[in-house]
Amino acid sequence: MRLFVAFLAITLAAACDEARSPDAFSGPPAFHDEGYPERLSDWNVIRAERGALRLNAGVTPYELATPLFSDYALKLRTVYLPAGSAADYRNDEVFEFPVGAIITKTFYYVEGADGTVSDAPAPVLDMPTPDLAGSELASLDLTGVRLMETRVLARRADGWVAIPYVWDERQRDATLKRTGAVMPMTLRRDGAPPVDFPYVAPNQNQCRGCHAPNNTTRALSPIGPKARHLNAPSRYAGGRNQLAAWREAGILSASDAQLAAAPANARWTDENAPVAARARAYLDVNCSHCHNDVGPADTSGLDLTPAAAHGPKLGFCKSPIAAGDGTGGRPFDIVPGDPDRSILLFRMETTNPAAMMPELGRALSHDEGVALVRDWILSLGGGCA
Amino acid sequence: MALAANKSTETVRPTFRSTAAPLAIAAASALALAACGGENASAPSTAADTDYQETLMTRLLDAAPGDVIDIPAGRFMFDRSLSLAVDGVTIRGAGMDKTILSFKDQVAGAEGLLVTASDFTIEDLAIEDTKGDALKVNEGENIVIRRVRTEWTGGPKTENGAYGIYPVQTTNVLLEGNVAIGASDAGIYVGQSRNVIVRNNRAEQNVAGIEIENTFDADVYGNVATGNTGGILVFNMPNLSQPGARTRVFDNDISDNNLKNFAVKGTAVASVPAGSGVVINSNDQVEIFENEIRRNKTANVIIASVYSSGLSQDGMSDDFDAYPEAIYVYDNDMGEGGGNPDGLELQALKMLKFGPTGSFPDVLWDGFVDPAKAVDGALPPAQKICVRNGDAKVLNVDAPNQFANPSVASAPFDCELPRLPAVQLPEKLAEL
């Protein structure tokens, strides 16, 4: 009897491995034009197998010059377009993607043997060729990696849909988690004691908190695939400009004139770039999906898009509207030259859910981002009369 | 003094009709988990608390227009915000003291429930102890919030969330029969909205009981605002997409709002002195009538410009109208106010002008007049501040001249203004 039970368990386990983790992609990515597939692997875009996170053929990894901060998580972004289709270039807005487009963003950490995670340099995606067009079966070595969640944005006929998946403990696949999840984590950073924090995967409605940048139409949309975020050399494109590489790969339709005039955000870590450009790029990608003229945070009158000029709209000497204890006892959104009297910086530093900005997507403060914005505010002279 | 709030700490696990499918899936995945090695196969020990969170979140995600989401009696714990983004949904509890959504354990989210949808009704439940705002409706039309209690159960504290009931950028709004307690900014706050009725609510132990801000056409009546720092506020703030005008505040009980201001510095309400009955700041066309306004120790009615609230002149859009104009105060039952004003300047002024046992008159005005509109130093008739309220007098504190020449008068304010029409809500709201 005992033998039989053991045998059954082994058989079942083997069956699971086989069912959960097929050895190869079976065909191209699978677009689902309705419903919420139960598993990430149902999309056939990325897959964890043989110790690596693998990208299916035709799936393009990309990166942003300056990305959103998410509790020091590392991110792998991919885009897939149906064969023969391309996204239409837009100068300032998100590119117009064809129906059938699938974008994924996978959040992960480098994990130590004791289960804590760190912000150690990420393992680099292994690209079989330096050319995006040949990026088939690029893969991320999962040794020492903990996959947290993968968010899927799919462009259906009636618009984008956002679908959250949380990785199973065994790291074989990610499972649909529409109500989100809270995962207790411990982060180790150099020179600091380990810090416990709740990693929060958003619930599906909360996706709208960032991905519905127009609070009147409330249409869902990606945020990253804008010219200014992609217009930079990319390690995924062999160091070449990513917009040019996208066009070459046939996934972006843009004219030479458009690409020549494309706006470019600074890389926030680029110490050769002016601090203002780096800070504004940081505020753009972390804040402007809400803090724009028509966004959910237009109620505050604070506009953090790159186009906002120095003045009350950009927070200079502007009183808060409904910040509550988000003011941190400080008088104005930005006091030029005085970061420690600037509400904006307080809201970046605090981890109180009632006061922190962004409202979603972090439980920790981003020390380096705070330092950058602090330097920028310091560099602005003038104060408030 | 909480209003018979249910303080039971018992956690109730509600029963639910459940379709067979999710159950089958749950069973299947439990089996699969068990078979596949079984990590986390056992349910977390806090299942009773978190079960309903998942259930309600899922119902909010799956809601379709026309749905009524019934929440049974019980005390339900949440660790994250709830949100609704589907038009035409009703959320209904079993009573504000029976159905309690508690956010005591909240770890994430800037509010308890965030609604980004139209044709929305919520009624008969309580939202307690959220980290940030309790109930926020951000942009939508035809919004009904009735018999909802929002409360911070530890009493007034600076770390309480900012707003209890908080519709912003909404049109056609009915807030009635609600109870708001302990907000560190405003218990009931209507921002940047149009066509609003706020009636028969109770607001206590908030910094501001009820606040109407940058809103056009609001009727505020039948409410009790007591025990707050300021009872009812009608404000306009700069740098927003719309100013506000035309608010009627009538038939309210606005007494004993003498709570020490516990707002965080930097917020607009942090400058509201304790002991304020009605405060009008930079708003136009405001009627205050037939209220009972008593025992507010700074003043029963304060009329002020944004220049008295500590804002930076650098930080104001040029087109902002900073002056309260066309304000009409009449036929209120006012008295016993102004005897112990908050703040050193006002205290000194009271001592100087009225002596240790005297009191400010019922109406206090900061004295700022828009120089662009003034004719011979006074406002033209249509923009005037009018007070026809028995023997009530107005104290002009002369703030523009650093309180140099404060004066008490009634004759210059003896005027009347055309009455504002009543706010009409679409009939549809009665059905919501």
Q: SS in 3 state form for A18-33?
A: HHHCCCCCCCCCCCCC
Instruction: For residue A164, say if its preceding peptide bond is cis, omega within 30 degrees of 0.
Output: no
pLDDT band at A123 (very low <50, low <70, confident <90, very high): low
Residue B45: predicted pLDDT = 33
8 Å CB contact of A325 and B239? no
Chain A residues near residue B162 by CB distance under 8 angstroms: 322-326, 354
pLDDT of A70 strictly over 50: yes
pLDDT range class, residue A124, cuts 50, 70, 90: low
Token readout for A366 is 């981003």
Residues of A in contact with B133 (CB under 8 A): 324, 354
DSSP state of B209: E
Q: Flag whether pLDDT at B416 surpasses 80.
A: yes
| Contacts A359 to B, Cβ<8 Å | 109-110
- Give me the residue from B162, B169, B315 closest to A332, CB to CB: B315
What was the pLDDT predicted at B428? 84
CA atoms within 13 A on the CB side of B140: 25
Q: Where are the domains of chain A?
A: 16-253, 269-379
Q: Is the pLDDT of residue A164 over 80?
A: yes
Query: B266: nearest CA in chain A?
Result: A331
Q: Indicate yes or no: CB of A322 within 8 angstroms of CB of B191.
A: yes
> What's the CA gap between A214 and A93, in Å, rounded?
12
Let me know: does B77 contact B104? Beta carbons within 8 Å: yes
The count of structural domains within chain B is: 1
Long-range contacts of A30-34 (CB under 8 A, 24+ apart): A31/A82, A31/A100, A31/A102, A31/A154, A32/A154, A33/A99, A33/A156, A33/A157, A34/A156
Query: Which residue in chain A has the smallest CA separation from B311?
Result: A319
Q: What are the pLDDT digits (tens) for A151-162?
A: 999 999 999 999
Q: Which residues of chain A does B138 touch, with a Cβ-Cβ cutoff of 8 Å?
A: 215, 296, 299
* pLDDT single digits (tens) B60-94: 999 999 999 999 999 999 999 999 999 999 999 99
pLDDT tens figures, B114-154: 999 999 999 999 999 999 999 999 999 999 999 999 999 99
Size of interface A-B (CB pairs under 8 A): 187
Chain A nearest C-alpha distance from B29 (Å)? 11
Is residue B158 pLDDT above 70, yes or no? yes
- How far apart, in whole angstroms, are the C-alpha atoms of residue A343 and residue A355? 10
Q: B43 or B108, which is more confident?
A: B108
Is pLDDT larger for residue A254 or for residue B13? A254
Residue of A312, A323, A324 with shortest CB distance to B315 = A312
Query: How is residue B213 written in tokens?
Result: 């801000």
Report the C-alpha gap between A74 and A76 in whole angstroms: 7
What is d(CA B137, CA B131) in angstroms, rounded to the nearest whole number?
16
**What average pLDDT does this structure show over B194-209?**
98
CA distance B389 to chain A (A): 33
Are B80 and A384 in contact (CB < 8 Å)? no
Query: Hey, what amino acid is at A102?
Result: I
Q: Chain B partners of A325 at a C-beta cutoff of 8 Å?
A: 158-159, 162, 184, 264
pTM value? 0.88
Per the CB < 8 Å rule, is B239 touching A321? yes
Buried b (16+ CB within 10 A) or exposed e, B85-111: bbbbbbbebeebbbbbbbbeebbbbbb
Residue of B nearest to A317 (CA): B315
**How many angstroms away from the CA of B335 is the closest CA of chain A?**
32
Question: What is the C-alpha to C-alpha distance for residues A214 and B18, in angstroms, rounded to an integer?
Answer: 36
Lowest mean pLDDT among A205-214, A298-307, B171-180: A205-214
Q: Which domain holds residue B241?
A: 132-431
Q: Min CA distance, A317 vs chain B (Å)?
A: 4
- Separation between Cα atoms, residue B40 and residue A321, nearest integer Å: 45
Closest residue in B to A198 (Cα–Cα)? B107
Band of pLDDT at residue B43, cut at 50, 70 and 90: very low
Q: Which residues of A touch B305 (CB under 8 A)?
A: none
Q: Which residue of B has its CA nearest to A6?
A: B35
Q: CB–CB of B35 and A9 under 8 A?
A: yes
Least confident of A137-151, A365-379, B218-232: A137-151
pLDDT value of residue B17: 34
Nearest chain A CA: its distance from B120 CA (Å): 16
Query: pLDDT tens digits, residue range A308-336?
Result: 999 999 999 999 999 888 999 999 999 99
Residue-wise pLDDT tens digits, A175-198: 999 999 999 999 999 888 999 999
Please name the member of B53, B109, B267 whose beta carbon is closest to the beta carbon of A323.
B267
d(CA B304, CA B293): 18
Q: Domain of B257: which CATH number?
A: 2.160.20
Contacts of B191 in chain A (CB under 8 A): 299, 321-322
The helix (H) or strand (E) run that includes residue A244 is helix A242-248
Identify whether the C-beta of residue A218 lies closer than 8 Å to the C-beta of residue A162: no
Which pLDDT band holds residue B6 (cuts at 50, 70, 90)? very low
Pick the closest to residue A108 from A142, A68, A61, A67 (CA basis): A142
**More confident of the two residues B5 and A141:** A141
Residues of A in contact with B79 (CB under 8 A): 182
A372-382: average pLDDT: 95
Please tell me the distance in Å from A12's CA to the nearest CA on chain B.
6
The string of pLDDT tens digits covering residues A233-272 is: 998 888 999 999 999 999 999 999 999 999 999 999 999 9
Q: What is the pLDDT of residue A382?
A: 85
- φ/ψ region of B192 (left if φ > 0, alpha if ψ in -120 to 50, else beta) reads left
Nearest neighbour of A331 by CB, restricted to B116, B238, B266: B266
Higher pLDDT, A376 or A14: A376
pLDDT grade, residue A376 (50/70/90)? Answer: very high
Which residues of chain B make contact with A185, given a CB cutoff of 8 A?
none
Q: Reply yes or no on whether the pLDDT at A127 is more than 90.
A: no
* Closest in B58, B239, B266 to A343, CB measured: B266
Residue B343 lies in a domain: yes
Q: Is the pLDDT of residue B36 over 70?
A: no
Across the interface, of A208, A324, A355, the residue whose CB is closest to B116 is A208
What is the predicted pLDDT for the residue at B309? 81
Q: Are residues A317 and B312, on separate chains, in Cβ contact within 8 Å? A: yes
Nearest to A175 by CA among A296, A20, A301: A20
Q: Do A299 and B138 touch (CB under 8 A)?
A: yes
Min distance A109 CA to chain B CA atoms (Å): 20
Find, in chain B, the residue whose alpha carbon is nearest to that of A356.
Answer: B110
Report CB contact under 8 Å: A322, B185.
Answer: yes
